[in-house]
Amino acid sequence: MRNEGVEKSELFRSGGIVVGAIGLVAAAVVLVYSTAVVGFDPLTWSATLLLAVIVWSVLIRPAVVLHVEELEVRNVSHTLRIPYQRIREVEINQVTRVHTPERTYVAGGFGRSRGTIRKDARVAPDAKLGQHSLGHLVEERINRRATEAKRTAVEGAEVAPVRRTWAAAELGAGAVLVVATLLASVLR
């Protein structure tokens, strides 16, 4: 997507964001209410914050992001950055599968239901824009970008590797809150 001549990243995720937002608001309400009624309780705070981190990590964080040169795949515990030149094929079914020569990467942050997959299979490949699902359109867009990246690649140039970065904030907060919840329950 272009905006005033600048390439923009495109973020796609499945429907967990609404439920995730409701979960985070509910956690905030529990913390405010329990503090107002009972006062500060370490067990309530640590357990509620742990649940909020889990809700964030499982329902809100996972996504697929299309950048100019690479595909970013956010999973619960890590993020993969896969250069388009490395992508052989992308399949978006219930989960997203990114096939590279080295291996297949699986992402749960964006997918299609079985019914949507069946509906997309009945639609002609050259159908009008509104007839295919978003998942089908994103799959086609990523596969086109991968094909174009390979076509325009410089002969003999080294292709960037797939990079994995761990979700350090989420994993660290989860570990600290698990320990805090266990300590608070034991010391109660």
In the predicted structure, residue 1 carries a pLDDT above the cut 60: no
Whether residues 80 and 27 fall in one domain: no
In the predicted structure, residue 83 carries a pLDDT above the cut 90: yes
Say what the pLDDT of residue 6 is.
57
pLDDT band at 2 (very low <50, low <70, confident <90, very high): very low
Tokens of 89: 């094929």
8-state DSSP, 155: T
Residues 87-121: tens digit of each pLDDT: 999 999 999 999 999 999 999 889 998 998 898 88
Residue, of 122 and 127, whose pLDDT is higher: 122
Say what the pLDDT of residue 123 is.
84
Say what the pLDDT of residue 128 is.
73
Q: Is 1 a member of any domain?
A: no
Whether residues 181 and 160 fall in one domain: no
CA distance 66 to 53: 25
Whether residues 161 and 90 fall in one domain: yes
In the predicted structure, residue 161 carries a pLDDT above the cut 80: yes
Tokens of 105: 């990467």
Q: Is 172 a member of any domain?
A: yes
Whether residues 47 and 95 fall in one domain: no
pLDDT band at 11 (very low <50, low <70, confident <90, very high): very high
Strands laid side by side in the 10-12 sheet: 10-12, 63-66, 70-74, 78-83, 163-166
To which H or E segment does residue 151 belong? helix 134-151
pLDDT band at 129 (very low <50, low <70, confident <90, very high): low
Average pLDDT across the chain, whole number: 91
